[in-house]
Amino acid sequence: MSNAGANILHADLDAFYASVEQLLDPSLRGRPIAVGGGVVLAASYEARVFGVHGGMSGYQARKLCPSLLFVAGHFSEYQRLADRVIDVLVDFTPAVERISIDEAFCDVSGAARLFGSPAAIAASIRSRVRTEIGLPISVGIARTKHLAKIASQVAKPDGLVLVEPEYETEFLAPLPVGLIWGVGPVTRGRLADEGIRTIGELAEADPSALQRLLGHAVGSKLGALANNVDQRRVESGRRAKSVGAQSAFGRCAPDPQFIMQVVSHLADRVGGRLRAKHLAGRTITVRVRCTGLRSVTRSITLAAPLSATRTLAEVAADLVASAVGSNGPRIEVTLIGIAVSQLVNERALQLELSLGAHDERSRPGTSAGSGRWSVDHSVDAVRRRFGRDAVGYASVVFSGAGRVPDEFRALAEHDD
């Protein structure tokens, strides 16, 4: 196990984007608000009472909550305030693993002599974040990362939950399986069909039956987590293993033009994040979610790592077309995602001779590839100086695929 005692904290800012807006404008406090407009990017707890949530259309949100007030996002403030919260965590322990803009794990096993028990440290963190920054934060404390994250969800809003090792099974058993990290609507539905709705029921399920139902890897993982078997440690400064992005939309027929519009927008986001970290990857994976919540994935491993936006879009479009084609005619899709893995450092481009190989378009060192590499880095330089909207690729700018502001996507997305 990760630690003998409950020494792992999961700190999670509550309704972060909406809470920041209420902090910046006190007149919004206590009112149902949503960040966004055509699409709800985030909702306050006052709005969530009415069923409003992120990703919902503005029209639907207003029907559920006629008094809902939409506000524009202050994206630079989100990053600034979230960074200040991380600074508070680091004051207590250097073992901080940030997993998104508004949440992080901390290992406080070596901080007891300076700051007291894990519960005392968590209480101090919450007090400082509230008084110094002005934001509510929930903290879960447990022996494993998995359980600490669940505890922080139970603690919401604006609370603290400590799970002592001797009470782990008792705490987990009645909770819904949807609280387990990685259990989405499809998995939850499959488990419910088998009469498994709580974590306790999942823990008691036959491992081989779970593997047959969910696949060997997922079934084994969820069975272990339900029994709080989690060997992962808090890793500060960990290196990303993959970089990805996805777009959800209404039911759409996946014609080639539509596919290229969506993957071009995704590739622009993923490619830019790769280059910002001086990374490139060899394996490209796409995920396509069809109607009925059925998902199909396709991947390819290339001979050379890439980070070029246009090349990534072309490879991803081929993979999406393959995934769609395997599901027959008249299929409709609701989500497309791209991820790049097998990452390597790419601080310079190694040129190569053109030999007419069939995969030449995907090789960054060829004449065509180096040209794209140069264009991408020029675009990146302009955006760093003048902002993301200063320049862009025509296939992205005129596609209408980016309904959600890219500033918000950049904050919400994190590399795995």
Q: Which of 21, 46, 97, 103 is catalytic?
A: 103
* Residue 317 to residues 295, 296, 309, 336, Cα–Cα distance (Å): 16, 14, 12, 10
Q: Are 318 and 267 in contact (CB under 8 A)?
A: no
CB neighbour list of residue 352: distance below 8 Å, 6 or more residues apart: 363, 365, 366
The per-residue b/e assignment along 301-328, b for 16 or more CB within 10 angstroms, e otherwise, is: ebebbbbbbbbbbbbbbbbbbebbeebe
CB neighbour list of residue 113: distance below 8 Å, 6 or more residues apart: none
**Distance between CA 143 and CA 141 in Å, rounded?**
7
Q: Are 292 and 397 in contact (CB under 8 A)?
A: no
* Residue 201 annotated as catalytic: no
Q: Are 225 and 286 in contact (CB under 8 A)?
A: no
Q: Cis bond leading into 157, ω under 30°?
A: yes
Catalytic residues: 103
